[in-house]
Structure 1
């Protein structure tokens, strides 16, 4: 599994939730379900990958790989 640190992420990187392949890709990267990624987008009111990563890190810590 690919590990991505928040510092290494491009702050301008955005997720297009209408593209299932993008949602699945980021779900694999963050080691969460695609539904968790969509929930993070709604909760953050943002489709910014760094914002989604921050949310998932704090809300879904048990699902993530260290």
Structure 2
């Protein structure tokens, strides 16, 4: 399903940001079109990334239980 920046909140699982789904720990707006993300990868490591509205096309929310 397509996503919007407003849908990305702590606890959201996103597919396409890394090779495996990541769980968002923190999503801080950096203006209208950018989020500063802190996420946990499947191996437990934390990562950080700026996510721009233009980057959303390759991303999807993982459905609960998937």
TM-score normalised to the size of structure 1? 0.26
TM-score normalised to the size of structure 2? 0.26
